[in-house]
Structure 1
Amino acid sequence: MVTVAPSNTWVYALRLPHDPRAARVARMTVRSVLDSHGRGEVRDTVELLTSELVTNAYLHSCGAVSLRLTALDDGRLRVGVWDGHPHVPAPFGGPPRDRVPSAPVDAEGGRGLGLVAECADRWGGWSLGESPLDRGAGKLLWFEVGGREGSP
């Protein structure tokens, strides 16, 4: 009898419409995927940071958003969020990447990217030109959490 062990690497992709409920759908998807893969140790962080990126994409772009969850073979989990707006905000843009503009104390928003910088192990982003996937211009923001100690 042959047994098949599930791979520790996997990818899930989700296309979300420009809808105020997209962040909730993204959170539910992240929770379900991570629970089904036994990655509960990073679930709350990934759920929060994904929600922040998808919310920003909804607020600052006009079209659909793509979410991609990737489990890498060293235990890291990478989350990427693509949207149609080309501006790459701090801390995802160029140096100094560790500086996130502070939100005013009485502001109702403006703290999400600071959460990414604080909670993620790595993050980055780039503006996209014409894509071979016919997505057009936009940007991809990503973050990583987890992994083995000492992994690059």
Structure 2
Amino acid sequence: MGGMNWSAAWSCVSELVTNAYRHAGGGCSLRITALRDGRVRVGVWDGHPHVPEAFREGAPLPPGDPHAPGGRGLHLVREYAEAWGAWSSGEALPGRRGAGKLLWFEVGAAPGPA
């Protein structure tokens, strides 16, 4: 996987982990999987079931404010990732373990020399 676009991948990882920490109110889990075709799938699980609008299938991205201190991270994920998505376990119930969501994306190998 030496040709992987690691800069794009780590920017996206950083964004999802940071969002999980800031908005989910608890810990998160990161899983990175090498796929057979040279791509990498990254999943970030947190304990909050709400899926951000930008990760909903077919959802348009809201316009970002380039002067705002935040709010552009999911734009980066959708720009750099080849695919992305989410899965929610539904609303959290008091005392229920396992409630939350998984946000994932895939990035591919960077183009090599011609």
The answer, yes or no, to whether TM exceeds 0.5 is yes
Residue 30 of structure 2 aligns to a residue whose secondary structure is: strand
Which secondary structure state, in structure 1, belongs to the residue aligned with residue 76 of structure 2? helix
The amino acid of 1:101's aligned partner reads P
The residue that corresponds to 1:25 in the other structure is none
Structure 1 residue ranges, 4+ long, deviating more than 6 angstroms after superposition: none
Bigger CA radius of gyration: 1
Quote how far apart the aligned CAs of 1:129 are: 4.3
Q: Measured at CA, do residues 129 and 87 of structure 1 come closer, stay the same or move farther in structure 2, by a change above 3 Å?
A: closer
Q: CA deviation at 1:90?
A: 2.7
**Once the two structures are aligned, what percentage of the paired residues are identical?**
58
RMSD between aligned residues: 2.3
- Give ranges in structure 2 of 5+ residues lacking alignment: none
- Aligned with 1:59 (options 18, 22, 45): 22
Aligned to 1:7: none
Cα 1:121–1:135 shift into 2, 3 Å = farther
User: For 1:93 and 1:135, how far apart are their aligned partners in 2?
Assistant: 24
Instruction: Pick closer, same or farther for the CA change 1:137–1:76 going to 2, 3 Å.
Output: same
Q: Does 1:124 align with 2:85?
A: yes
1:143 aligned onto 2:105: yes
Please give the alpha-carbon distance, in whole angstroms, between the structure 1 residues aligned to 2:80 and 2:98.
30
Unmatched runs of 5 consecutive residues or more in structure 1: 1-37
TM-score by length of 1: 0.63
Matches of 1:41 and 1:94, distance apart in 2 = 26
- In 2, the alpha carbon distance for the partners of 1:45 and 1:110 equals 18
SS at match of 1:141: strand
Following the alignment from structure 2 to structure 1, what is the Cα–Cα distance between the partners of residues 50 and 99? 10
Bigger relative contact order, structure 1 or 2, given CA contacts below 8 A and separation 6+? 2
Question: Following superposition of structure 1 onto structure 2, how do residues 56-135 of structure 1 map, counting pairs within 5 Å?
Answer: 56-96=19-59, 99-129=60-90, 135=97
1:94-134 Cα deviation digits (max 9, x unpaired): 333xx22223343100000001111100000011249xxx8
- Report the alpha carbon displacement of residue 40 of structure 1 after superposing the two structures with TM: 5.2
